[in-house]
Amino acid sequence: MTLTQERSVTPVSAGASHPLDPLTPSEIASAVAIVKTEKALAASFRFATVTLKEPAKETVLGFQTGDSIVREAFLILLDNATATTYEAVVSLSAGHLTAWEMIPGVQPPIMLDEFVECEAAVKASPEFQAAIAKRGITDPDLVMVDPWSAGHYGIAEEQGMRLSRALCWVKASPTDNGYARPIEGVIPVVDLNKMEVIRVEDYGVIPLPPKDGNYTPEYVKNYRTDVKPLEIVQPEGPSFTVNGHEIAWQKWKMRVGFTPREGLVLYTVSYTDQGEERPIFYRASLAEMTVPYGDPLPHHYRKNAFDVGEYGIGSLANSLTLGCDCLGVIHYFDGFITDSRGEVAQIENAICLHEEDFGILWKHMDWRTEQTEVRRSRRLVVSFIATVGNYEYGFYWYFYQDGTIQYEVKLTGMVSTAAVMPGEIPKYGTLIAPQLNAPIHQHIFNVRMDMTVDGPNNLVYEVDIVPEEDDANPYGNAFYAKSTLLPTEQAAKRLIDPMKGRYWKIVNPEKTNAMGYPTAYKLMPGENTLPMARPGASVIKRATYMTQHLWVTPYSADEKYPAGDYPNQHPGGVGLPAWTEADRPVENTDLVIWHTFAHSHSPRAEDWPVMPVATIGFSLKPLNFFDENPANDVPPSPKNHGSKSACCS
């Protein structure tokens, strides 16, 4: 990240071309300066969030080029001196603070600065130094400290404190992979408001694992020598165009945004069909992800990370590199956030936009005429990658020429590691090196999609493929797609059922295609499972959203995150389980779809030292949304880049 020093308390002129454009660096700096000045903030205040306060949906949908744009910023602040959280709204157009509210009993996400300061506090602690000395570690500078969230376990002395239970490793040298050597059983507990170690939990000495786990060119010398160049070229440039934060690609149109909490946000996604721009969803983002671990040992059972709500997946986004993270002709979007002191931080190349060949789109050979028609599939990719401690997550939206939308998460990086005694075979994990245990865990994601399929009023059906009843099935071969309306929030709390080919369709009952079917998109689940924690577990109370694969709610501007606005150290019961208690109707109204999908990771030796990519996700496919295959008009591909003749026709 790079820092800028812009600071002003004067109104910011509307540099945005659209109401949903992310805040510019000057807007962020001005919002911070206005709050500091008007509230006379002490140095003890930290800025956890500075982001666009999105205007009302009606304002956005009614916006015309040239209309005036009112810009507002939303801020979350933490006063370390009083352990108090505040929310603020700044009118950037008017240049003053318009809202200031104390939010009692909550903890903002752990900030990047706190990671660094927490590590320094742990290393300086005499109690911690004594604990690692018992394990033969004499140089604290070689220790790695990862500040993990403390969760909520009803411990009286922890109430009201801003805590981290840090996990620690030690390097053999400054460039060594420290995750190969966990300092097992030593948990420094840090008061992040005072930045002091309040205790060091010590569960007994376990020897450091003996083997290195290095993977960089400094250590890996025998690379493969038979890898020939593979080049992706687009001699005439890409097929997409970018205007500010608006993307147009063939028949697709959308806007991109970026927040420190969610990272990449997509807005106003539409597909142009026969000259009509048809909306599909208004806003979509990763709303939460939770990583519960399955080891019940006293120094492991509290490992339950909420990577969106407790850390901010956007603030952890990588600066992407051409030829490594993204390949081809790339357009990048930068991300702008703040550090905790309010200084503007730029994440260069935070979002990657490019095209990919994706094999065959459609094909048919007429054996009578010997005519073959093939069309190559091309997809548009909008993505970002974040590093959360040991793990990397790549988040990808794919848009296809046939109207399909796909969301995919790529999981890589390093598994979280623990040490075991020589000869011990762990029950709740896998030995990936001598005395090195990778505990079993899950990665559970929730994507929030504010749907507008062909317009604002939609409804949802559950569709199962079922056999026909016996009296109408004389030959035993009949089966059909059975649709069941989900009319209320409680009825729409649903689980996958792959044995029935279950999917959910989001329908516009007021629009039909040429055959008279109501236009729809169907949500097609991919790999999935349920959380393995028991119903009474703390992580289930805090992340109840994990217990259902589908939730449907009527649109409400303040219902954004499935585990609530402030999951850090929160006891739970908020977010989706609280909202849906009202059992509001979700029929023929403005709907939000919340889709939960889980990857259960039982580690293997091949996941060490850096894990090959695992993927998980889902698809949104048009379901009688069109009159026929919308990709019929995709042209044949040329034989090569310089030829005008077609090889696919």
The residues carrying an active-site annotation are 307, 391
The whole-angstrom separation of Cα 501 and Cα 301 is: 36
Q: How far apart are CA 178 and CA 110, in angstroms?
A: 22
Q: What is the DSSP letter of 55?
A: P
Residue 211 DSSP code: S
> Phi and psi for 461 in degrees, rounded to 5?
-120, 145
Buried b / exposed e over 305-338, threshold 16 CB at 10 Å, is bbbbbbbbbbbbbbbbeeeebbebbbbbbebbbb
Paired sense of beta strands 96-103 and 479-485, if any: unpaired
Assess contact for 447 and 594: CB atoms under 8 A.
yes
- Helix then strand count (H, E) for the chain reads 6, 31
Nearest Cα residue to 34 out of 54, 15, 11 = 11
Q: How far apart are CA 204 and CA 55, in angstroms?
A: 54
CA–CA distance, 545 with 551 (Å, rounded to integer)? 8
| Dihedral sign of CA atoms 277, 258, 54, 17 in order | negative
Residue type, 523: L
Q: Is the peptide bond before 217 cis (omega within 30 degrees of 0)?
A: no
One DSSP character per residue, 598-632 reads: EEEE---GGGSSSEEEEEEEEEEEEESSSSS-TTT
